[in-house]
Structure 1
Amino acid sequence: MNEQAEIPDQERWVAWQPAELAQRLRDVARPWCIVGGWALDLWHGAETRDHGDLEFTILREDLGAFRRALGDLEFYTVHDGVLERLAVDREPAAEIFQIWGFDRAAGRWRVDMMIEPGTDDGWVYKRATEIRRPRSEMVMRTAGGIPYLNPSAVLLFKAKYQRPKDEADFAAALPKLAAPERTWLRDCLELLHPGHGWTKAL
């Protein structure tokens, strides 16, 4: 059987909850944080909508530590819509920034692990690396200690697509977004997406 035939159905997602991921990563002393829609809901303190997956980011040099911590999963690189099995003894190619984790025993995808270009102390926006901020400003924590990306940065990622869920996430976040974060997001949108519909609202 060839490797491509063994790749699981991309729709077979039953993602872990953030708390379960945090528990599994409790002994990993390297930077990581929840991103995407779940990051916004951790900030809100409640689950505002269903989430099809669970996204979190790591630094490329730390991939081995996270693969070991999640050793019961099989990992698949994702690039241009193509999934490929990432063998245990192989590092992903430099152009790979997304890796899915598959729970073979349950037959379900569990996590979407994103590789970010930052450092231990600095956060870098991967789509425009000139946008940088101290990691201490960009990674927040729940009362239970789960790290998640600053909502202004989550919305910056979502601004590119403006899917219905992204519009809903923006509308829910806007009233709670602190003034400095509104200004930062507006400045980023003006730089990267001139004329974006969210700019006026900010």
Structure 2
Amino acid sequence: MPEIELVAHNPFWTRAYQHERKLLLEALFPVTGPLLIEHIGSTSIKNIAAKDVIDIMVGLTQPLSQEAIEAFEKLGYDYMGEAGIPGRFFFKRDPRTHHVHVVQLGHDHGFWWEHLLFRDYLRSFPEPARRYEQVKLDLAARFPNDRPSYTSSKSPIIHELLAEAIEWESHFGPVRQIQQVLQQTPFQWAIAGGWALDLATGKGQRHHEDIDVMVYRKEQLGLQRFLHNQGWVLSRIHKGEYFRWLEGEELPEGDHQVHATHMDHPSMDLLFNEGDLEHWVYRRNPALTRKAAICTGPHGIRYLAPEVVLLYKSGGTAGERTKDAEDARRMFPILSASQKTWLLQQLPPNHPWHDLIVEDL
């Protein structure tokens, strides 16, 4: 039997990933805290051949610990270290059925966003997916028992497709995919987070780890029903831990986030907010409201106003993150005086952004 053997796409791979994801969440969350898990590699892309190995990517908010390594080992994984890729920690299960790639988000040299973007591009466009498949089939025939040569020879097509994916991303490609899904619904929604800031500037400014979508809490069950019927897998998040969002189940008070995945689309995080189209309500302080918090950007994509996004990014219980501070510095010069004044009024008196905003007023 050749070492490199590609088989036709198997719908079971998605179920196998979901099963393993559940085991990983249960084993890792107690020792790592909040984490992200995504299905990557060719088994995550419909209708192309792949090795019968499930590739999984885990994103941590802190460095990989010995306790986390031991949790993997209890699940039958062998720890292989970085295995030639700085910032990526590799685990494999023998016989080869699953590979897990672990990174610390923000310290992974682009590993996380590159793999998600590559996957989402091939999910969205059959032609580049077929090009990738054909190269892999040719290489598997050429190097049936030479894994290093097979792997290194894929580099040119991967770089070519990643360049195409980056160009697609710069024109809001992933967000436009989500727009196509959500514009079929009667519900109000708006892109939030870092993507919203890019929409406000009219061009892609940086790579993104996820797509945040603000929706109104009162519409949660209708949206849930629509997404379930479209084949989305929904997980509600409670204190950083993932639970299946059961059909007809309202989110518990205090919970506001649902992670949504689909084999044909980029993943998205639904952020349920109080209020309605006329009055946005700040989740961390319901007394704070704002009119006209939804804007329309390139391609007719609705997004949360940048001053509102920056208020969320100014620091919750986790404090200010590096990428949020960078987003703030690039956005302050293009905010209007009224947007800056409003944001200034909402920030605590000792917040480090005060001086930056005042400089631009």
After TM superposition, the score normalised by the length of structure 1 is: 0.87
Match of 2:346 among 165, 175, 188: 188
Paired with 1:111 and 1:33, the residues of 2 have a C-alpha distance of 12
Q: Could you list the per-position Cα deviations for residues 157-185 of structure 1 after superposition, in whole angstroms to 9, with x for gaps in the alignment?
A: 11113211111101110110000000000
Q: Which amino acid aligns with 2:222?
A: A
Q: How does 1:170-189 map to 2 (within 5 A)?
A: 170-189=328-347
Q: Which amino acid aligns with 2:287?
A: E
Match of 2:203 among 46, 62, 66: 46
Partner of 1:5: 23
How many Å apart are 1:30 and its aligned residue? 2.3
How many Å apart are 1:94 and its aligned residue? 2.2
Q: Could you list the per-position Cα deviations for residues 10-39 of structure 1 after superposition, in whole angstroms to 9, with x for gaps in the alignment?
A: 231737611111111112222211110000
Paired with 1:102 and 1:20, the residues of 2 have a C-alpha distance of 13
| Change beyond 3 A, Cα 1:26–1:130 | same
The alignment status of 1:131 with 2:131, answered yes or no, reads: no
Secondary structure of 2:37's counterpart equals coil
Partner of 1:120: 277
How many Å apart are 1:117 and its aligned residue? 1.0
Match of 2:257 among 89, 94, 98: 98
Q: Could you list the per-position Cα deviations for residues 72-130 of structure 1 after superposition, in whole angstroms to 9, with x for gaps in the alignment?
A: 21110111111001122322222220000022x47x97010011011232101111111
Paired with 1:24 and 1:115, the residues of 2 have a C-alpha distance of 17
After TM superposition, the score normalised by the length of structure 2 is: 0.50
Secondary structure of 1:10's counterpart equals strand
Q: Which amino acid aligns with 1:40?
A: L
Q: How many corresponding residue pairs? A: 195
Return structure 1 stretches of 4+ with deviation > 4 angstroms: 6-9
C-alpha root-mean-square deviation of aligned residues, in Å? 2.5
Unaligned runs of 5+ in 2: 1-18, 27-34, 40-115, 121-173
Q: Structure 1 or 2: larger helix share?
A: 2
Paired with 2:255 and 2:320, the residues of 1 have a C-alpha distance of 24
Q: How does 1:15-30 map to 2 (within 5 A)?
A: 17-30=174-187
Partner of 1:74: 233
Paired with 2:243 and 2:214, the residues of 1 have a C-alpha distance of 19
Q: Which amino acid aligns with 1:72?
A: G
The alignment status of 1:152 with 2:178, answered yes or no, reads: no
Q: Please say which structure displays the higher CA radius of gyration.
A: 2
Paired with 2:251 and 2:308, the residues of 1 have a C-alpha distance of 25
Q: Which amino acid aligns with 1:197?
A: P
Q: Which amino acid aligns with 1:156?
A: L
Contact 2:199 2:298 in 1 (8 A): no
Paired with 2:183 and 2:242, the residues of 1 have a C-alpha distance of 28
How many Å apart are 1:194 and its aligned residue? 2.3
Secondary structure of 1:78's counterpart equals strand
Partner of 2:110: none
Partner of 1:201: 356
The alignment status of 1:32 with 2:189, answered yes or no, reads: yes
Paired with 2:321 and 2:24, the residues of 1 have a C-alpha distance of 31
Secondary structure of 2:36's counterpart equals coil
Which stretch of the first structure deviates more once superposed, 83-92 or 125-134? 83-92
Unaligned runs of 5+ in 1: none
How many Å apart are 1:6 and its aligned residue? 8.0
Partner of 2:83: none
